[in-house]
């Protein structure tokens, strides 16, 4: 099950990258991403319906770590599409006020689900066997009936993914509000002629490079998220990418190497032709 889910996630992330490169607007990207992830989530659910877990550890891992990743991405893009489609046309102040109201709703959702939110954030495990199994405790399920998964799956796996998506959306709105409050209308962001044509892996490598060289302040997470927002790209599992970097057979820093060689070639061309730009 875990290997199947990991391969499905890898395929999903690759396709999300392709959508990011091809989409012309945030609204278009959100819609295409939502439809893609909805299909992946269905595929995962269908596979798991008849699957027999090898042991309790695999079962807990699936419901607490694996499935919430897919629900998180699905719900993020579902709400992002709604946000982008509903963004009012008006002044920067009007757009900022509207986004603040959406942010308040997300914060209220996190407050309403404070137990599971804090349980997950603090790394607790003492109730895992009551929450993150194929058949969680009935009394607990009834308490969260309104957030039950449509296909009748694990309520808490589904809810955890939605909570994580709410966190992502809150961070997204905070960045949008900050930019809009600086006087740049949100509608103008889509008109900038700067687009990310590289892969997510290359974005992560640049982020790690900036962080480890001490060129920017903040955490690795904040640096990569800032880069992602600047280029309208939603970062994914950047930590896993770092693990992959370390075991590359050739150069572990392929993107940074490419940037170095490209810059050196640019400088060489400039030396040969002063008009080279």
pLDDT digits (tens, 9 = 90+) for 61-71: 888 888 888 99
Global pTM reads 0.69
Question: Which range, 65-69, 90-94, 266-270, has the best average confidence (pLDDT)?
Answer: 65-69
> What domain count does the chain have?
2
For 54, the domain range is 2-192
The mean predicted confidence, pLDDT, of the chain is 80
Neighbouring residues of 179: CB distance < 8 A, sequence distance ≥ 6: 186, 189
Confidence of residue 222 (pLDDT cuts 50, 70, 90): confident
DSSP tag of 252: S
Confidence of residue 241 (pLDDT cuts 50, 70, 90): low
Confidence of residue 237 (pLDDT cuts 50, 70, 90): low
The reply to whether 55 and 171 lie within a common domain is yes
The reply to whether 70 and 151 lie within a common domain is yes
Single out the residue in 192, 208, 232 at which a domain terminates: 192
Report the candidate in 12, 119, 135, 124 with the shortest Cα–Cα distance to residue 66. 12
Confidence of residue 115 (pLDDT cuts 50, 70, 90): confident
Q: Percentage of the chain with pLDDT > 70?
A: 80
Single out the residue in 192, 226, 246 at which a domain terminates: 192
Pick the more confident residue, 43 or 13.
Answer: 43
User: Residue 35 half-sphere exposure, CB side, CA atoms within 13 Å?
Assistant: 6
Pick the more confident residue, 197 or 232.
Answer: 197
The reply to whether 135 and 215 lie within a common domain is no
Neighbouring residues of 256: CB distance < 8 A, sequence distance ≥ 6: 205, 206, 209
Pick the more confident residue, 161 or 134.
Answer: 161
SS3 call for 74: helix
Q: Say yes or no to pLDDT of 192 above 60.
A: no
Are 251 and 211 a contacting pair, CB within 8 Å?
A: no
C-alpha span between 170 and 77 (Å, rounded): 13
Confidence of residue 251 (pLDDT cuts 50, 70, 90): confident
Q: Say yes or no to pLDDT of 186 above 50.
A: no
The reply to whether 229 and 174 lie within a common domain is no
Single out the residue in 141, 164, 192 at which a domain terminates: 192
C-alpha span between 209 and 179 (Å, rounded): 25
The reply to whether 177 and 201 lie within a common domain is no
> How far from the centroid of its chain's Cα atoms is residue 260's Cα?
29
- Return the pLDDT at 145: 53
User: What tokens were used for 29?
Assistant: 């990207």
User: What is the CA angle 186-20-263, rounded to 5?
Assistant: 95
Q: What does the pLDDT average to over 225-248?
A: 69
Of 51-60, 90-99, 139-148, 166-175, the range with the lowest mean pLDDT is: 139-148
The reply to whether 81 and 214 lie within a common domain is no
C-alpha span between 111 and 245 (Å, rounded): 38
The reply to whether 55 and 188 lie within a common domain is yes
Confidence of residue 187 (pLDDT cuts 50, 70, 90): very low
Sort residue 259 into left (φ over 0), alpha (ψ -120 to 50) or beta: alpha
* Backbone φ, ψ for residue 171 (5° rounding): -65, -40
User: What is the CA angle 3-238-241, rounded to 5?
Assistant: 60
The reply to whether 133 and 200 lie within a common domain is no
Confidence of residue 220 (pLDDT cuts 50, 70, 90): confident
Confidence of residue 8 (pLDDT cuts 50, 70, 90): confident
């Amino acid at each position: 099950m875990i290997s199947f889910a990991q391969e499905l996630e890898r395929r999903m992330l690759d396709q999300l990258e392709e959508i990011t490169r091809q989409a012309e607007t945030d609204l278009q990207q959100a819609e295409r991403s939502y439809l893609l992830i909805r299909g992946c989530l269905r595929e995962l659910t269908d596979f798991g319906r008849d699957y027999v877990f090898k042991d309790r550890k695999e079962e807990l891992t699936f419901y607490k770590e694996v499935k919430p990743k897919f629900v998180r991405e699905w719900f993020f893009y579902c709400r992002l599409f709604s946000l982008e489609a509903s963004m009012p046309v008006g002044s920067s102040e009007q757009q900022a006020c509207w986004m603040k109201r959406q942010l308040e709703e997300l914060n209220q959702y996190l407050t309403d689900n404070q137990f599971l939110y804090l349980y997950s954030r603090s790394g607790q495990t003492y109730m895992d066997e009551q929450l993150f199994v194929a058949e969680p405790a009935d009394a607990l399920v009834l308490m969260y009936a309104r957030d039950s998964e449509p296909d009748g799956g694990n309520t808490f796996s589904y809810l955890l993914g939605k909570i994580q998506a709410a966190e992502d959306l809150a961070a997204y709105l905070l960045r949008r509000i900050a930019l809009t409050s600086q006087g740049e209308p949100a509608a103008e962001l889509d008109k900038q002629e700067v687009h990310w044509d590289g892969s997510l892996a290359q974005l992560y490598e640049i982020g790690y490079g900036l962080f480890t060289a001490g060129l920017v302040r903040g955490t690795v997470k904040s640096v990569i998220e800032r880069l992602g927002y600047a280029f309208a790209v939603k970062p994914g599992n950047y930590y896993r990418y770092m693990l992959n970097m370390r075991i590359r057979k050739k150069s572990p820093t392929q993107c940074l190497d490419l940037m170095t060689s490209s810059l050196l070639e640019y400088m060489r061309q400039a030396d040969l032709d002063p008009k080279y730009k």
